[in-house]
Amino acid sequence: EVQLVESGGDLVQPGGSLRLSCAASGFNVNTNYMTWVRQAPGKGLQWVSVIFSGGSAYYADSVKGRFTISRDKAKNTLFLQMNSLRDEDTGIYYCARNLFGYDFYYMDVWGKGTTVIVSS
Amino acid sequence: QSALTQPASVSGSPGQSITISCTGTSSDIGNFNSVSWYQQHPGKVPKLIIYEVTYRPSGVSSRFSGSKSGNTASLTISGLQAEDEADYYCSSYSTSGTPVIFGGGTMLTVL
């Protein structure tokens, strides 16, 4: 069964760091484009970052320079390193698999999300 | 303010059809067929229901259809059912800043 399970969400102070993980099963994260999307409490979806099968990555303007997406081939896991966290980074963070064979705009498998709260 | 503009809410009765609009610019919807739609029930995970403007993933009901004209994309749900009550988000590739943008979401109420 294709599945994504996120972890690592926590309460962190502004300026702090957090590393999110997304364990995949049923497919290989290294041969798929993988994306992080977040959702602030009561708000809409916001695209965060994508990593391509070749390893290159794109970021939303709001997180560029602060967040880093990566993956571990052996663990079949996607990561999101988040530094210099701000209040507005609070929300549920979803990892998602991009629809295979298409560009990076479509996410067809989603994890249940992990919650990040940035507050003093 | 979201990059793509959607109505905050729409409603319809069971059996009726409704259409949700998603308005962008020539930097996104207007020049690219990279529009997708997601359904999200309260407290649940988003689900891809339309990609590349008109295509449905396997398993998605044919009652859902997508279209595009100029800078505006649309999602039509025909034969409304109670289970369709959810939030709907459009998304598009964009050449202006962040490469993937979402609309603010539309809450669908089935009366």
Residue of A nearest to B34 (CA): A105
Q: Average pLDDT in the A30-55 region?
A: 95
What pLDDT digit, counting tens, does each position of B61-70 carry? Answer: 999 999 999 9
pLDDT digits (tens, 9 = 90+) for B43-99: 999 999 999 999 999 999 999 999 999 999 999 999 999 999 999 999 999 998 899
Could you please report the per-residue DSSP string of B23-89? E--TTTGGG----EEEEE-TTS--EEEEBTTTB--TT--TTEEEEEETTEEEEEE-S--GGG-EEEE
With beta carbons under 8 A apart, name residues in chain B contacting A50.
99-100
Measure CB to CB from residue A102 to each of B51, B89, B99 and give the nearest one: B51
**Quick one: pLDDT at residue A22?**
98
pLDDT at A37: 98
Distance from CA of B80 to the nearest CA of A (A): 23
Mean pLDDT on B33-44: 97
* pLDDT score recorded for residue B1: 47
Residue A79 has pLDDT above 60, yes or no: yes
Enumerate residues 6+ apart whose C-beta is below 8 A from A53: A30, A31, A32, A33
Residue B2: per-residue pLDDT: 57
Asked if A110's CB is within 8 angstroms of B45's CB, the reply is: yes
Locate the chain A residue with the closest alpha carbon to B107. A44
The residue written with tokens 């290159």 in the block is A56
**Inter-chain contact A110–B2, Cβ cutoff 8 Å?**
no
Answer whether A92's CB lies under 8 Å from A38's CB: yes
How much is the pLDDT for A92?
98
Kindly tell me if the per-residue pLDDT of B3 is higher than 90: no
Burial of A18 (0-12, 13-18, 19+ CB in 10 A): buried
CA-to-CA separations, A39 to B19, B34, B106, in angstroms, rounded: 24, 21, 15
In whole angstroms, give the CA distance from residue A53 to residue B31.
26
